[in-house]
Structure 1
Amino acid sequence: MIKEIIVVEGKDDTTAIRRAVEAETIETGGSAINREIYGKIELAQQRRGVIIFTDPDHAGERLRKLISERIPGCKHAFLTQEEASYKGDIGVENASPDLIRKALANVRTEQERSEAEIQWEDLIAAGLIVHPQAAQRRLEMGKWLGIGYANGKQFHKRCQMFQITKIEFNAALAQFDKRGS
C-alpha cells in the first residue's frame, strides 16, 4: 500500500489508480477545487503526505499548481499526454496500470532551494527554449527527467522545484540527443 494519499481529479482517476496499486485518494472534482477539499489535502499532507497525480492537460497542470502553491512539500507523479490518451481524451483514467505504477515509482518531491543548479542559459543551450523545436524538446526532456511537459518558464521552475542537478540534466540531454531528436 502506498503510504501517501494520492490527489486526483475525479472518480475515474481513483478507479484507475486502484486498478494499479493499493492506495487512498482524494478527488478534487476537477479544477474547481473548494476550501473543504483544500482542507482534506492539507490534513493528508500533515499526516501521511500527498502525491499530486493530475491529468497531463492544461486543467490538470493548473490544478497541480494551485495545490502546490497552497500546500508545500507535495510529491508529484507525472504521465505524458501520450501515456494518458485514449480516443482523443487525456486523463489519468486512460493510462494502463503499468504506466500508473511507473509514474508512482518515479514521484518527485518539491523542495525549496536557495540556488538553482539549472539556469535559464542551460535551457537555451539545450534547445529547450528559443529553438524551433523547443516545445517538442521539452516534452522529451520532461519524460527523461520525470517532470512532465511544461512551457519554458514552468519547465525552468520544475527543474528548480524538483532540484534537478546538472548531472541529471546533462545525462537526460545526452540520452535525448543520442536518440537523434
Structure 2
Amino acid sequence: MKIKEVIVVEGKDDTAKIKSAVDADTIETNGSAIDEVVLEQIKHAQQKRGVIIFTDPDFPGERIRHIVTQHVPDCKHAFLPKHLARAKHDKGIGIEHASKADIQEALGAVYELVDVREGEITKQDLIGYGLIGSPHSATRRERLGIVLQIGKTNGKQLLRRLNMFHITTEQLDEAMNQIIQEERDEK
C-alpha cells in the first residue's frame, strides 16, 4: 500500500513501524514540544502532497494532533484505538506497538476534517444513545470511536468530531445499533 500524503508521527519508532506496514514518508514531531521548523515542514508537505496526522492514542498524541491542526488546517486524520496500540510486555501505548495490519486499516480509513455543518448530529442524539449523561457513556464513546475509527473522545469532543467528519445520523444509528447488540451479547 502506497500512501501519497506525508504522515505526521511522534518519533522514529513510529516512522519505522509505519514504513514496515506501508510505503510512505513521515515527518516526526519528536514529541509534543513541536517547534516552528517542524510546523513549517508539515505546512509545506500539506501544500505539496497532503498530510495525515497519525499520533498515539493518548493525551500527548491528542495534544500533538491539536497543535498541528491549529497551525496546518485541512490535514487528514488516522486513528488507532488504544487496545491496538498497547505494548505486549509493558504499559507503553503507541503506534510503534501496533500490528502492520492494524496500521494499514487505520490509514485506509482516513478521515478528512471539514467545517462543522449545522443541523447534523446534535447533543440530543448523543444523550439519546447514552453517549453523554449516563453512567456508561465513556465506555460507549470509546466503542463508538473504535467502530467509526475517529479516536477516543469526551462528550464535547465527540459531537464536534462526528460533525467535522460528516458522520451522518444514519452512520451513527448503524454504529450504535452494532454497539447496543454487542452489549446485549455480553450479558
Aligned sequence identity (%): 48
Which residue of the partner structure matches residue 16 of structure 1? Answer: 17
**Gap regions ≥5 residues in structure 2:** none
CA offsets 1:133-152 (integer angstroms, 9 cap, x no match)? 11110000111111011111
Structure 1: which 4+ aligned runs deviate by more than 4 Å? none
SS in 1 for 2:140: helix
SS in 2 for 1:26: strand
Alignment of 1:147 with 2:150, yes or no, is: yes
**Gap regions ≥5 residues in structure 1:** none
Of 159, 165, 170, the residue aligned with 1:167 is 170
In the TM superposition, what is the alpha-carbon distance from 1:114 to its structure 2 partner?
Answer: 3.4
Which residue of the partner structure matches residue 55 of structure 2? Answer: 54
**TM (normalized to structure 2)?**
0.94
Count, aligned residues: 181
SS in 1 for 2:84: coil
Give runs of aligned pairs for residues 90-109 of structure 1, distance below 5 A. 90-109=93-112
**TM (normalized to structure 1)?**
0.97
Letter in 2 for 1:169: L
Which residue of the partner structure matches residue 114 of structure 1? Answer: 117
Contact 1:7 1:25 in 2 (8 A): yes
CA distance, structure 2, for counterparts of residue 27 and residue 36 of structure 1:
11
In the TM superposition, what is the alpha-carbon distance from 1:113 to its structure 2 partner?
Answer: 3.2
Contact 2:117 2:163 in 1 (8 A): no
Which residue of the partner structure matches residue 137 of structure 1? Answer: 140
Which residue of the partner structure matches residue 76 of structure 2? Answer: 75
SS in 2 for 1:82: helix
